[in-house]
Amino acid sequence: MREKKQSEFSLIDEFFAGKSHYHTGTLLGVGDDAAILTVPADRELLVSVDTMVEGVHFFNNGTQYSVDPYSLGHKLLAVNLSDLAAMGGEPLWATLALTIPEYNREWLQQFSAGLFSMAEKFKVDLVGGDTTRGPLTLTLQIYGSAPIGKAVRRSGAKVGDAICVTNSLGTAAYMVQLINESQHNSTLQLADNILIKENLANLERPSPLVAEGVILRDFSSAMVDVSDGLVADLRHICESSRVGAVLDRAAIPVHSALSNIGSVEERLSLALSGGDDYELCFTIAAGKLKLVTEKLAELGCAVSVIGDIVEEDVADGDSVKWRDGSCIDERGFSHF
Ligand code: ADP
Ligand code: MG
């Protein structure tokens, strides 16, 4: 037991302790029974957690395609930062619960490098965690802050607001589809596939829209990040806000990588229901659209207006529809 504890501590020391310290509010980080943290009196604390499980959120090791640990570290922090971005929060801290099947130095080094590359970019102090042996499971809790009363909730959408989404959708889901196809078809060589080469980073190393979220905090009435699929995530806004949404088919920003797919319906389906894009979907009063579009463009972020918030149709039960009233036959990712 004593020996096991020793190696657990050296693992923490080597790969996770003392690697990031950006905030004066970090009074005590990794090393004690708990971290000691403080936020200024004029700000609120935002907290969110996400888990990634091998075989569920990323492909199992040993299959033809396996994710490199650097990307896993990157993505674990990225998906959490994306949740924070969707509230308009600014990142502060993270804690990491790491369950690994074995002590693999090479793996830990890479994972830690990926994680801290993102921590450096987005100024996140890793202030604690837990390390256990078991099936590969990566959990990270993120802490951020926003000025009091300013965090953007899902519940603020108003009838007449425009519905917007950043950049484009569908690549991550398309990459998963191509990888799955290649697992069942040995003639499809993943490494040679130019589409995969050029777009895999969208799946493996997403860029959370943190600065964009901070701008949108002052303009949007409701916001969500697109992690389970656009329609599924927009439904969350509709349900929380007690409103409906109508979308325009031609306005959905389908990623250009999907142009190889023959059918328009299939392309649209990936963009509407594919998860893992980590774009931001927000609602906004039409009068603020121009300014916000300009401000986001300065960050290199495109905005598409994809529809409008309408009165809730209580009898119907389906909150998100095409503008002509027809159903959008898509469901986002659900674990159960
Ligand atoms: P305890 O037994 O008191 O819960 P641990 O032995 O689990 O403490 O952890 C020792 C210290 O290392 C704590 O400060 C904890 O937050 C930190 N820690 C443990 N695992 C990790 C990890 N994977 N990443 C970052 N910090 C960690
Ligand atoms: Mg303790």
**Percent of the chain residues topping a pLDDT of 70:** 93
Atom of ligand 1 nearest to the CA of 128: 16
Is residue 126 domain-shared with residue 180, that is, in the same domain?
no
Identify the residue whose C-alpha is closest to ligand 1 atom 1: 33
Least confident of 245-249, 319-323, 330-334: 330-334
Return the minimum-mean-pLDDT range out of 136-150, 159-173, 174-188. Answer: 174-188
Q: Beta strands 43-53 and 137-147: pairing type?
A: antiparallel
Please tell me the distance between residue 47's alpha carbon and the centre of ligand 2 in angstroms.
22
Kindly state whether residue 335 falls inside one of the protein's structural domains: no
Residue 330, pLDDT above cutoff 80: no
Average pLDDT over the chain, rounded to whole? 92
Ligand nearest to the CA of 20: 1
Q: Residue 14 C-alpha to ligand 2 middle, in angstroms?
A: 19
Q: Where does ligand 1 bind, in terms of residues with CB under 6 Å?
A: 12, 16, 30-33, 96, 98, 126, 128-131
Tell whether 127 and 227 lie within a shared domain: no
End-to-end, the C-alpha distance of the chain in Å comes to: 38
For residues 284-303, average pLDDT = 98
For the segment 193-220, the average pLDDT, to the nearest whole number, is 93
Percent of the chain with pLDDT over 90: 79
Q: Which residue owns the Cα nearest ligand 1 atom 8?
A: 33
Measured in Å, residue 44 CA sits from the centre of ligand 2 at 27
- If you measure from the C-alpha of residue 12 to the centroid of ligand 1, how many angstroms do you get, rounded to a whole number? 7
**Which residues span the domain enclosing 15?**
8-147
Q: Are 3 and 10 in contact (CB under 8 A)?
A: no
Q: How far apart are the CA of 85 and the centre of ligand 1, in A?
A: 27
Residue nearest to atom 13 of ligand 1 (CA): 31
Given 102, 122, 147, the domain boundary residue is 147
Among the bound ligands, the one closest to the CA of 35: 1
Residue pair 165/306 in contact by the 8 Å Cβ criterion: yes
Say which CATH number the domain at 246 has.
Answer: 3.90.650.10
- Residue where one domain finishes, among candidates 147, 181, 200: 147
DSSP SS3 for 184: helix
Residues 159, 91, single domain; the answer is no
Domain end, chosen from 147, 181, 208, is at 147
Total tally of structural domains belonging to the chain: 2
Nearest CA residue ID for atom 7, ligand 1: 130
Residues 304 and 168 in one domain: yes
* 33 Cα: distance to centroid of ligand 2 (angstroms): 4
Looking at the fold, whether 85 and 135 belong to one and the same domain comes out as yes
Question: Are residues 140 and 158 both part of a single domain?
Answer: no
Tens-place pLDDT, residues 5-57: 557 778 999 999 999 999 999 999 999 999 999 999 999 999 999 999 998 88
Residue 22 lies in a domain: yes
Q: How confident is the model at residue 317 (pLDDT cuts 50, 70, 90)?
A: confident
Mean pLDDT of 137-156: 98
Ligand 1 pocket test: which of 11, 12, 138 has the largest number of ligand atoms within 8 Å of its C-beta?
12
Going by alpha carbons, the residue nearest to atom 4 of ligand 1 is 33
Say whether both 301 and 181 belong to one domain.
yes
Question: Binning pLDDT at 50, 70 and 90, where does residue 4 land?
Answer: low
Domain assignment present for residue 3? The answer is no
Q: Is the pLDDT of residue 190 over 80?
A: no
* Same domain (yes/no): 206, 91: no
Nearest to 233 by CA among 264, 197, 276: 276
Query: With bands split at pLDDT 50, 70 and 90, how would you rate the model's confidence at 1?
Result: very low
Mean pLDDT of 211-226: 98
- Pocket mutation for ligand 1, best pick of 30, 77, 116 (most atoms within 8 Å of C-beta): 30
Query: Do 34 and 122 belong to one domain?
Result: yes
Whether residue 199 sits in one domain with residue 105 = no
Q: Tens digits of per-residue pLDDT, 238-250?
A: 999 999 999 999 9
What is the CA(7)–ligand 1 centre distance, in A? 12
Does the pLDDT at position 167 exceed 60?
A: yes
Is residue 129 domain-resident?
Answer: yes
Residue nearest to atom 3 of ligand 1 (CA): 33
- Measured from the CA of 126, which atom of ligand 1 is nearest? 25
Q: What CATH number is given to the structural domain containing 137?
A: 3.30.1330.10
Q: Are residues 138 and 252 in the same domain?
A: no
Question: Is residue 243 situated within a structural domain?
Answer: yes
DSSP character string of 36-84 = EE---TTEEEEEEEEEEEBTTTBPPTTSSS---HHHHHHHHHHHHHHHH
